[in-house]
Amino acid sequence: MSKRILVTGGAGFIGSHLCRSLLNQGHSVICLDNFYTGSKGNVAELMTSPLFTLLEHDIVCSIDLEVDEIYNLACPASPIHYQSNPIKTLQTSLLGVMNMLTLALAKTAKILHTSTSEVYGDPLVHPQPESYWGNVNPIGLRSCYDEGKRCAETFCFDYQHQYGIDVKVVRIFNTYGPNMHPNDGRVVSNFIIQALNNQAITVYGTGNQTRSFCYVDDLVKGLMAMMNTEKGFAGPVNLGNPGEFTIMELAEKVLWLTRSKSPITYLPLPADDPHQRRPDITLASSKLIWQPVVNLDDGLQETIMYFKNRV
């Protein structure tokens, strides 16, 4: 059955892939973005579809649309972008989420909110299950994002408890792939851009800190699976690839795959940067019947090819 689906942040990295997948299923898609980090280029090929509508709008301001489902992805997600205007980041996480929940309530629409692994902070539990409450600095440089997302989850569950709306919450772990912003400061895009330009690979700290990397196609399948769960199941649910790699291992993979001769340089670790990050996806595996299938080497190849074409 075809639905009318709103994707906020739809011209962003993950949002553009989600819009494409929803269109491929025959749904009408409203892509809403203020283009703070999103790009019209990410959705240019979708503009020819009669089922696709692009709206320039900021979710900090309310909007009235006829929709059946809402995927709320609108929020800058890289430290460079969310720290450049922390007040705006908080407004998006709080006022923006409240506006989308209010729209869902008015239209009796399902809403899926994308939270983040950053709600776990610099975790003292490893890997991180959804039951872990986190270790977050509420007044640090990252707190506009970390605490904004934590409070946004509270909004979602309070709207569910108070008004009975059908809410879904996912916590996204590091995701990569085509359509990443080339200057977003994330480790995968940083390393690839530096390697392709034969610039020094910048590793923060010793490089022994770990991350898990989920290819965007896998993540989108998880988002859609979560949206299709029964009413009453709200999560939160971790979505990410449980494969764990050190930052140095990632740097070495990128250098090998790009055949780059870039040297590696070391810079101080940013404040509150987590030392370990890996999702426990037991709940996603059992409830969503979802597992990531793209291995890191294959996903990096696709991402490198995307940036090669851009560079």
**Number of other residues whose CB lies within 10 A of the CB of residue 23:** 18
| CA distances, 265 to each of 185, 205, 269 (Å) | 16, 10, 12
Q: Could you tell me if 147 and 138 are in contact, meaning their C-beta atoms sit under 8 angstroms apart?
A: yes
pLDDT of the chain along its 311 residues, tens only?
Answer: 899 999 999 999 999 999 999 999 999 999 999 998 889 999 999 999 999 999 999 999 999 999 999 999 998 776 777 777 889 999 999 999 999 999 999 999 999 999 999 999 988 998 999 999 988 889 988 888 899 999 999 999 999 999 999 999 999 999 999 999 888 878 999 999 999 999 999 998 888 888 999 999 999 999 999 999 999 999 999 999 999 999 999 999 999 999 999 999 998 877 767 778 899 999 999 999 999 999 999 999 999 999 998 76
Q: Could you tell me if 130 and 284 are in contact, meaning their C-beta atoms sit under 8 angstroms apart?
A: no
pLDDT of residue 272: 61
**Number of other residues whose CB lies within 10 A of the CB of residue 144:** 21
**Number of other residues whose CB lies within 10 A of the CB of residue 270:** 14
3-state secondary structure of 213: coil
Query: Would you list the domain boundaries of the chain?
Result: 4-176+215-242+276-293
Q: Could you tell me if 176 and 301 are in contact, meaning their C-beta atoms sit under 8 angstroms apart?
A: no
pLDDT of residue 270: 73
Per the confidence metrics, is the pTM higher than 0.85? Answer: yes
Active-site positions read: 145
pLDDT of residue 142: 85
The CATH topology of domain 4-176+215-242+276-293 is Rossmann fold (3.40.50)
How far is 89 from 132, CA to CA, in rounded Å? Answer: 24
List alpha helices for 112-172, DSSP H. Answer: 143-163
pLDDT of residue 237: 98
Calculate ∠ Cα 190-192-196, nearest 5°. Answer: 120
- Residue 275 one-letter amino acid: H
Q: Could you tell me if 213 and 245 are in contact, meaning their C-beta atoms sit under 8 angstroms apart?
A: yes
pLDDT tens digits along 73-113: 998 776 777 777 889 999 999 999 999 999 999 999 999 99
pLDDT of residue 269: 75
Q: Two tokens at 162?
A: 């108070």
Query: Which parts of the chain are beta strand (E)?
Result: 4-8, 28-33, 52-56, 69-72, 110-116, 167-172, 175-176, 201-204, 210-211, 214-215, 237-239, 245-246, 264-267
Sheet holding 4-8, edge to edge: 52-56, 28-33, 4-8, 69-72, 110-116, 167-172, 237-239
| 3-state SS string for 33-77 | ECCCCCCHHHHHHHCCCCCEEEEECCCCCCCCCCCCEEEECCCCC
Residue 107 host element (H or E):
helix 97-107
Q: Which residues contact 107 (CB under 8 A, 6 or more apart)?
A: 65, 66, 67, 68
**Residue 181: closest CA among 286, 70, 306:** 306
* Strands 52-56 and 28-33, bridge-based pairing: parallel
- Whether the bond between 86 and the residue before it is cis, its omega within 30 degrees of 0, is no
